[in-house]
Chains A and B, each alone.
Chain A
Amino acid sequence: MSLQHIEQPSVLGAGIGDNSYGHELVQRGSQAAARFLSRYGALLGFLALWQVSSTRGWVNPAVIPPLDAIVVALWTGVVGGALLDDIAISLQRSGTAFAAAVVVAIPLGLFMGQVRAVERAFDPILQVFRQTSALALYPIFILLLGLGEASKVFVIFWATLFPLLLNTIGGVKEVDPKLIEMARVYGATRLTVFRRVVLPGAVPSIFVGLRLSATTALLLLIASEMIGANKGVGFQVMNAQYNFQIPLMFAAIVLLAGLGLLSNYALVLLQRRLCRWSSATA
């Protein structure tokens, strides 16, 4: 999901619902202004088409179940508590990996971006790692770390590390050297230059990395839970498909999308708080 999407203040409520609560969306749409319709009309149309195709039997309802069945599955899963454990464990895996990536990538990126020699020496290997699919490396992580939590968290960590690291390095390198020189003229020490010029200058780019990484963390979740898991939202997608509980499968997919939207939205809110200056216009 792009930044522009999220910029709209009304998006959280609608965004969570848009894939899931078809009925609720229809209700909301009827109340909302034309602007809302022009923005979400296509999505509503898609959901309506889905519902109609499924109930009319234009598509096989066993594979594409009607929306109400998905909503019911989601409702029983969440309110009934069956999916809560899965959500908790999934959030824990993604969250741990993401937090570890933040702790490693941001300080490392700030350092590498400042010291040209280090950055030059490590850039080729970073590019290689970045281009290597984390999923392709997953079997190796499993061999090294076993089938348990460690390999799952690590593969997510690996995938989230690079977008954040590269964006942090890029953010530091893009800070205008003229601003740094200005600070030096006023007698700023290296530390002060870093704290007052380099760090704030790199923050917008760090946020781009954070949002990419958060999205990646959830994308990788489902893959990591495909193998050797017996819990988790990703596991539920696979398991429900295996047991042919298709509404439950879609409910889990919707949950993943919702988690993605929510984490992205939280980051955008934080970014807006920290970077009010970048959106200030005359």
Chain B
Amino acid sequence: MTSTDTTRRGEVSIRDLSKSFAINGRPLAVLKGLNLDIRSGECLVIVGASGSGKTTLLRVLAGLEAADGGRVLIDGAPVQGVGTDRAVIFQEPRLLPWLTVLGNVAFGLEVRGEQRARAEERARDYIGLVGLGEFADAYPKQLSGGMAQRVGIARALTVQPEILLLDEPLGALDAMTKITMQEELARIWSEENVTMIMVTHDLEEAVYLADRVLVLPKEKGAAARLIDIDLPRPRDRSEPRFVRYREELLREFGLH
């Protein structure tokens, strides 16, 4: 399932990006003058205080929200609305309750005009990849939260995007499931040559998954911090350097 072409795909370049919303008729700057280059195939994790604009940034990258100023280029081309080079995994699985797991995972490809049989064939591969092979014919109602989220992940992977955008995908899961899913995400990311841009509140998760962590500032216009996580994979959460990175992130939040 790993893409064989060697051209650099899934590169993102963000230049002087700004975005504000009107709240009670007054503009509220959410993102201001953000610059960032995301490398092909990297895993960038975005953290920041609540309201710092993480979701907004992700939605701009997804093409669900238009920027007010600045530019976002993906592989050199400006983002204009949603595109087939990107897939989004939301905090909720957002499964269609009337489709089975197989139907849901094939949905993305079918919507893009793939024939049902071929879409389902590919969907089965990814259902296996997220470990739900036995549940292909189950309905969303019959799944646990973690299983449902894995279906959402499989659906996004099935369209083989260059860029995977994830907004707190594990935020609603219990601690145990979360750790398992973090390991699965790390594995999937290393198997699927894909650029992963993920928002999280969980600093350990950030250190576990990220090549680089982007810390969005609370004060608009202040420079966003980028922290390289220079650790071998698979990562060991108890190793001293891992713990030090976590503490460094905590300090970024002024919590340590």
B166 shortest CB reach to chain A, Å: 12
Which chain A residues lie closer than 8 Å to B87 at the CB level? 185-186
Known: A185-B86, A185-B88, A188-B111. 11 other contacts (CB 8 A): A178-B90, A179-B94, A182-B94, A185-B82, A186-B107, A186-B108, A200-B98, A277-B99, A278-B98, A280-B141, A281-B141
> What are 30 A-B residue pairs whose CB atoms fall within 8 Å in the complex?
A178-B90, A179-B96, A181-B64, A182-B94, A183-B111, A185-B86, A185-B88, A186-B87, A186-B107, A186-B112, A186-B159, A187-B112, A196-B96, A196-B107, A197-B96, A200-B98, A203-B98, A275-B98, A277-B97, A277-B98, A277-B141, A278-B97, A278-B141, A280-B138, A280-B139, A280-B141, A281-B141, A281-B142, A282-B141, A282-B142
- Residues facing A in B53-112 (CB within 8 A) are 62, 64, 82-84, 86-88, 90, 92, 94, 96-99, 107-108, 110-112
Measured CB to CB, the nearest residue on chain A to B112 is A187
Which chain B residues lie closer than 8 Å to A275 at the CB level? 98
Measured CB to CB, the nearest residue on chain A to B108 is A186
Interface set of B (CB-CB < 8 Å, partner A): 62, 64, 82-84, 86-88, 90, 92, 94, 96-99, 107-108, 110-112, 138-142, 159
CB–CB A187/B82 < 8 A = yes
Q: In the complex the two chains form, what is the Cα distance from A21 to B138 in whole Å?
A: 43
Q: In the complex the two chains form, what is the Cα distance from A17 to B124 in whole Å?
A: 49
Label chain B's interface by main secondary structure. Answer: loop
B146 shortest CB reach to chain A, Å: 14
Hey, what's the 0/1 contact readout for A213-230 against B, CB within 8 Å counting as 1? 000000000000000000
B143 shortest CB reach to chain A, Å: 8
A78 shortest CB reach to chain B, Å: 41
The 8 Å CB contact of A200, one of B92, B94, B96, is B96
Which chain B residues lie closer than 8 Å to A184 at the CB level? 64, 82
CB–CB A182/B90 < 8 A = yes
Q: In the complex the two chains form, what is the Cα distance from A187 to B159 in whole Å?
A: 11
Measured CB to CB, the nearest residue on chain A to B98 is A277
Q: In the complex the two chains form, what is the Cα distance from A275 to B98 in whole Å?
A: 7
